[in-house]
Structures are given as C-alpha cells and as structure tokens.
Amino acid sequence: MQSTKENIRIGFYVCHCGHNIAAMVDCADVAKYVKGLPNVVLSRDYKYMCSDPGQELIQKDIREYKLNRVVVASCSPLLHEHTFRSATAAGGLNPYYFHMVNIREHDSWVHTDRGEATVKAKALAHAAIDRVAFHKALETKTVKINPDALVVGGGIAGIHAAMTLANAGKKVYLVEREPSIGGHMAKFDKTFPTLDCAACILTPKMSEVGAHPNITLWSYSEVAQVDGYVGNYKVRVKRKPRYISEERCIGCMDCISACVFKEPKFEDEFNEGLGKRKPVYIPFPQATPQIVVIDPNVCLNFKRTKGPDGTPIVSDRCKKTCVEACGDKNAIDFTQKEEIKEIEVGTIIVATGFKTFDSKRVPAYGYGIYKNVYTALEIERLVNASGPTGGEVILREGKNPDGSPKHPKSIGIIHCVGSRDKKTNVWCSRVCCMYSMKLAHLLKEHTGAEVYNFYIDIRAPGKGYEEFYNKLLDEGVHFIRGRVGEVTDWAMTPEEEGKLVIRVEDTLAGYVRRIPVDMVVLSSGLEPQADAQDVRRLFNMSCGTEGFFLERHPKLAPVNTFTDGIFIAGACQGPRDIPDTVAQAGAAAAEALVLIDKGFVEQEPNTAFILDEECSGCKSCIPLCPYSAILYDETRKKAHINEALCKGCGTCVAACPSGSIVQNLFEDEQIFSEIQGVLAYD
C-alpha cells in the first residue's frame, strides 16, 4: 500500500499547549518516537504551536528542510485545522498536505495515566504520519453568496438582526409565526434594571422594520422547508391565511368594532388569557404589521350549519358586518388559502426565542389550582397600562365587601420555578432574579403591598443589576432565602384565613415559616420552544442536552452553527436577557455580513469524484446520494458526480462495489493507512 514515486518529507510538530497536553503526554517522547518513523525528516515539540512563533516555525522548516508534508499533534482539528493549513500554505505548500492529530480533547484531557496517554498520542501520531504520505494537493472551490438574508423569528433578536442587515443595505426577509412581530418583549411592561418602558424602546424599532424598504416582513408565516447550502439556500415559507388582504388592509380596525360580537369574548393570547378579544382582532395596539387577523376557530363565517338539502352552509348568524364596515377597501377575504412562497437567500439567522416553563408542572405551587397564583408573564400584562386591566392590579379571585375588585395587600414572588431543579430543569434561567425584582418594584409601586421574594441565590451579574437589588432592599421589599415547599390555602391561624400561605424554610433564619399573602407570582424559567427539535432539523442544526440550539463553539463561534451560513441569536441558544440578546443579534448579523460582503466562500474540497475507467455503470451509488449529485451518462454507461452539488459525506464511496469513487481528503488508502497506523503502536 505504500506509495509512491514522490520523495515524501514530513515535518512533525507536537504541541504542549502549555500544560494542557504536556501535563498528561510526554511530548518530547512522542517527538522522539515519530522521528524514527518512515519519511519523517524532522520532529519537534513546542510549547504553543498555534502561536505566531509556532506557525512561523512551520513556515521556516518547510523552506529550510524542503518539507512536503506537515503533521501537527495538538488540539481538535475543529478548532485549529484552519490555522495550521494557513501556516502550511504560507510556507509555500498546498494546505491539504497538512494533517492534524487531536491529542488534547481526545487524549490528554480525557485520560488520567500519563503512560497510557503518551502511548495513545504515539499511536495517533503514527496514523497521521502514515496517512499524510497519501495526501494530495487540492484546490478549494469557491461558492458565490447570495446577498439576500433570511431572519427567522421577529422577537427583539430577529428585529435587531434584520434591522442591522437592512441598514447595511442588504435585502432581508423576516419571518414571524405570530400575527405581529415583537415577541416576548412586546408583552413586558418595563425592562430591568433601568425600568424604561419596553414598548417605548421596542415599538419604534418594530415600526422601522415594518417600513424599511429593505425588509420584507412576513408575519403569521412559518419556514416550511430549507434546501441548499451556504450562500445558496432555497427556502419555502408557509404563509398562513389571516383572511385579510395585507395589501388592502389599512389598519383602521373598523371591522373590529363592527363585528357581530359586540363584546370581546375569546381568550386573548397576547394578554396570556387575562383579557378577551373578538374573532377579528389585532394582537395589541402597536402590532406590526398593523393588519387585523380573523380567527377561523371562532369566527361565525367559518361555522357551518346544514342547509335545507343537507349541504354545509355558512351560518346565518354571521351578518358579515365586518365586510360591510371595510367597505370599498375590500380587505376581508374569507376564501384566503395557505400560500407557499419560495425565496433564495445566502444566509439565515435563526432567532426563534424561548417559551416559559409551564408552572403547572410544579403542582405544589398551586398554579391552575388557586386562582390567585399567577405566572410572571401574566403579571407583566397585569401591570401594563395597555394590559387587560389598564395597569390596575386586580386579583382574579375575591371581591371587596362592597363588591369592587380586590387589590392584593401582600404578594409573594417565588423564584426559580422550573429552574435549578433536578426534577424539572437544572439550568439557571438567568433572567428570573432580575425580572422578579423588577416585578416586585412594579407591584409595590402599583399596589403599595408588602412584597416578599423567595430566592435560592440572587443572581444579578450585569451592568447596574446589583445596584438594582440594593435599590429594592432600600425600598423595603422583603427577601427570604429558601426554596418554597408549597403554596396552600389551608389556614392554621385566623390571619391566614382566605389567604394563600407560602411554606418555606428560611435558610438564613434557620426555621420553617408560613407567610400568608393575597397573590403569589411564580417566576417561571426559560425553556426551548416546544418545536425546537423540528426547527433544528429544518435548519440542520444541533441542540444541546437541554434542547437549546448549539453554537459551533461556546467562546469562539457563539453565533455560528455547524451549518455554514446559518447563525443563531437570542434565547433560542440559551436563556439570556435583552441586552445580551441584542448584542448577540448584532453579532449574528455581522457574521452574515462577513459572508455577504466577501461575496464568496471557500469550501472544503472533500467532494467525491468517479474514476471513469473503473466505473462499471452499476448505478448503485445513484440512489444513495441525498443531494442528487450523481448522474448517469446513458451514452457512456458511466456515473458522474456533479461536484457543485456534492457535499462530501462519502456515502457513495463506501458503497461503490468496484471502488471507483474517491473522496478527496478521505481516500480509501488514506483511511486504511490511518487504521494501520493507530494499530502499529501497541
């Protein structure tokens, strides 16, 4: 199996990586061992190969020792392969004459015996030395980048990313599932720690998005299919029918007041079910786009009764008063159907956000059992001036003796509901401490009630956050350290009658307390969206164990995914607050702009090709290719691979019965020599 006519001259470098490798692997011994292997001209160990002097060392050696192959044993190729390929190229060699050995992530960091780890390093190095002899000079292919971009999700992350790209002069499609953009932030009353009103800072951005000439906003729409590759994605977007013509609706909302339902009577999703809306509605006053929606589940026009001959007909209870009110604008269209739009984009930013933890999963806290137990998001709507009560904090249950609505006089806020808990979610949701304190401030301000916070730890790591905590202490908000055991309506004393009692071990005081309150607020944690797994598959991304989208590298590529040209921003990657989300959205937009403005991207030349003279034309490979990259030439009775479509998985190579398909960088003899190499050293 040994090649060749060429005189192979390999330079080998083993990196200490400070103590990261050297502490567990005897680098000098590895270098000494490799020195004795065939074709090795030079073998060195060096403290930091990825440093400038390390890279210069490679370049110098290539020239001085006339090296024609380079092997570096250091960290994962996923981290530094590019660095060393560039160094090899700078030394005047084709970069694909380089091969990398992973002796950090796969060796020194995971083993505890220095002798065994050194043996493993030698075996892996031996394999690379054997393999690299078969490496060939390859050319990188360049792929053009379509300058248009797609942003998925219209929360603050998506809005900011879309605005950044659009302001840079790029055409952006912004797709949002709900009838309006705004996401969770639009529901918030104030934002911590500055207490500026969420709507005041968000809605100007929303209307900018709606009016921006470079942004095509598709609300009430979902991405249905994604094909293609970096720079050239083909996306199918499903536009759900809102039964209103977006072109003709001017947002006058005359139809809403004209609806046969004189009073709103259906659950209002935007207000977390605390308010009511009509079948024809606009989610909230500042909704963008300002276009009404008709809910076919409750609109009478979609109810069918049996006509005289038994065929279903439209109920005569629907008077179509909305159509009448719309008049010659003619925007209402009950026949609207789901529509599929096809677009081509070069880059995609996924900013699909989070969902809040379902507090019913912790039944001991009584959500859904006691009416006066609320989620934090419900309180956001309750204290909001445009909320269902106009900002008046009214209890769901209980009236004053005179029949007027009751305001809470004491409120308990329970932190970490569905966070930092092995029974539900183990992670810290990062924002709950801060939003709990914000709500404590707002509730105290609105009602003058005594407010108790029940916390495990106060986590306030952000600009002005700790100061906000101190401010709350000064305001007289109570903080009780301890995880709440239960919320109950079982009174043990007269003053507990008619109240909700929070039972908690006060871990600072060292005893179990019972605190009677009128209102309980559950600070529910952040979770991945319910359909995060489907979305992940749609965009060919990965998820971490907790279900949030996985970044390419937690430190060095925090907005990149494993699929080139697809970026993530905001809470779909993990719990984060608004400042971090906006920063990340800007980063994602900048990464997309790098590709767009460069105009092309270099692709790994690991594609497959067919050795024409060997191909028997059996067609085994053709159905295996998921990209339809293999064609059959009927006249010559041979298969042919379209390199532009090949993505380099190598499935066809492994299947070819005559061994006539070759995958660059993963040729059979390269892999066989690697197998031989890893087993050569015992």
**By the criterion CB under 8 A, which residues form the site for another protein?**
76-79, 102, 104-107, 109-113, 116-117, 119-120, 123-124, 127, 537, 540, 542-545, 550, 562-563, 606, 624, 626-627, 647-651, 653-655, 663, 666, 668, 671-672, 674-676, 678-679, 682
Maximal C-alpha separation, the chain: 102
The residue among 659, 678, 669, 613 whose CA lies nearest residue 3 is 669
Of 78 and 258, the one with the shorter C-beta distance to another protein is 78
Beta strands in 130-251 (DSSP E): 141-144, 149-152, 172-175, 190-191, 196-197, 215-218, 221-229, 232-239
Rounded to a whole number of angstroms, the distance between the first and last alpha carbons of the chain is 21
Of 100 and 161, the one with the shorter C-beta distance to another protein is 100
Residues written for the chain:
682
Smallest separation, CB 341 to another protein (Å): 23
Of 264 and 544, the one with the shorter C-beta distance to another protein is 544
Using the Cα atoms of residue 14, residue 20, residue 25 and residue 28 in order, give the sign of their dihedral.
Answer: positive
Q: 405-430: string of b/e by CB count within 10 Å (b at 16+)? A: ebbbebbbbbbbbbbbbeebbebbbb
Apex 293 CA angle, 290 and 296, nearest 5: 175
Give the whole-angstrom CA distance, residue 551 versus residue 219.
26
Smallest separation, CB 128 to another protein (Å): 10
Of 385 and 644, the one with the shorter C-beta distance to another protein is 644
Of 102 and 221, the one with the shorter C-beta distance to another protein is 102
Of 489 and 604, the one with the shorter C-beta distance to another protein is 604
Smallest separation, CB 606 to another protein (Å): 6
Smallest separation, CB 150 to another protein (Å): 20
The phi, psi pair for 609, rounded to 5°, reads -140, 165
Of 117 and 572, the one with the shorter C-beta distance to another protein is 117
Smallest separation, CB 161 to another protein (Å): 24
Give the whole-angstrom CA distance, residue 256 versus residue 293.
10
Of 302 and 627, the one with the shorter C-beta distance to another protein is 627
Do 421 and 527 form a contact (C-beta atoms < 8 A)?
no
Smallest separation, CB 31 to another protein (Å): 19
Of 308 and 657, the one with the shorter C-beta distance to another protein is 657
Smallest separation, CB 1 to another protein (Å): 9
Strand partners, 314: 304
The residue among 591, 541, 551 whose CA lies nearest residue 574 is 551
Using the Cα atoms of residue 572, residue 575, residue 581 and residue 583 in order, give the sign of their dihedral.
Answer: negative
Structure tokens at 490: 């079982």
The residue among 258, 256, 246, 255 whose CA lies nearest residue 179 is 246
Smallest separation, CB 552 to another protein (Å): 9
**Helix, strand or coil, per DSSP, at residue 630:** strand
Of 106 and 240, the one with the shorter C-beta distance to another protein is 106
10 Å Cβ neighbour count for 542? Answer: 12
Smallest separation, CB 188 to another protein (Å): 31
Of 109 and 632, the one with the shorter C-beta distance to another protein is 109
Strand partners, 172: 149, 215
Smallest separation, CB 646 to another protein (Å): 10
The residue among 604, 602, 623, 600 whose CA lies nearest residue 664 is 604
Q: For the sheet containing 500-506, what is the strand order? A: 484-488, 500-506, 511-517
User: Which residue type, as a one-letter code, is found at position 367?
Assistant: Y
Smallest separation, CB 677 to another protein (Å): 9
**Helix, strand or coil, per DSSP, at residue 27:** helix
